[in-house]
Amino acid sequence: MAVFTLAGPAQAACPGCEAVEKKGAGFCCGKGLAFGVKLTSQKLYDSVAGEEIDADAIKCPGCKSAHKENGKCSHCRVAMADGKMYRSEYSHTLAKGKPVSADEAGHCGGCKTAHTENGYCTGCGVGFVAGRMYKGQESFEAASAAHETLETASAMAKKCVDCAVAMVTDGECPSCKVKFKKGEKIES
């Protein structure tokens, strides 16, 4: 006797989720990705995701300069990199790296290993964090620390999203009344 199993219609993949996976950034269906870190909070994602900006629409002189130099505007308290505006110092630091695939990681074995392991190639003087390349040890170390803070905030978001957002924006959690500076809790 033959046994037949009837399967329901194949469930179509969500185009938004597919776009997030392909791009390596975005948020859809309750999950997201920013700088190689998986996020489960839209609010946290929004606090670290950069906003596309129209360079011609920038009026503030400090913002114009920041846009040209991948720097910061002290007047508006925003940072610019890669054509986007960031309100989080950590995402700004990460955004300053050049996105590179494993194939583009360099011609030396040290770079290829560093790309795979989020490490630094002393021979070439470049480091890799979450598929981005940073020139110089100082830039690499700053990116590594920023990535670690973003990972910590992602884990924290499971307990308190507002604390996670405060962590990446050097702010205060309105619910817990906890303040953060440089990604760490500080005494009130």
Q: What is the pLDDT of residues 55-68, one digit of tens each?
A: 899 999 999 999 99
Range of the domain at 70: 23-186
Asked if residue 99 has pLDDT above 50, the reply is yes
d(CA 188, CA 184): 12
CB 56 within 8 A of CB 116: no
What's the mean pLDDT in 91-116? 90
In a domain, 14, yes or no: no
Instruction: Catalogue the E-assigned strands of the chain.
Output: 26-28, 31-34, 37-39, 51-52, 72-73, 78-81, 84-86, 98-99, 120-121, 126-129, 132-135, 179-181, 184-186
Give how many domains the chain has, as a whole number: 1
In a domain, 2, yes or no: no
What's the mean pLDDT in 135-153? 97
Q: How much is the pTM?
A: 0.86
Averaged pLDDT score across all residues of the chain: 90
Collapsing DSSP to helix, strand or coil, 69 comes out as helix
In a domain, 96, yes or no: yes
In a domain, 48, yes or no: yes
Q: What is the pLDDT of residues 20-58, one digit of tens each?
A: 988 889 999 999 999 999 999 999 999 999 999 998 999
In a domain, 17, yes or no: no
In a domain, 37, yes or no: yes
d(CA 115, CA 119): 6
Tokens of 123: 């021979």
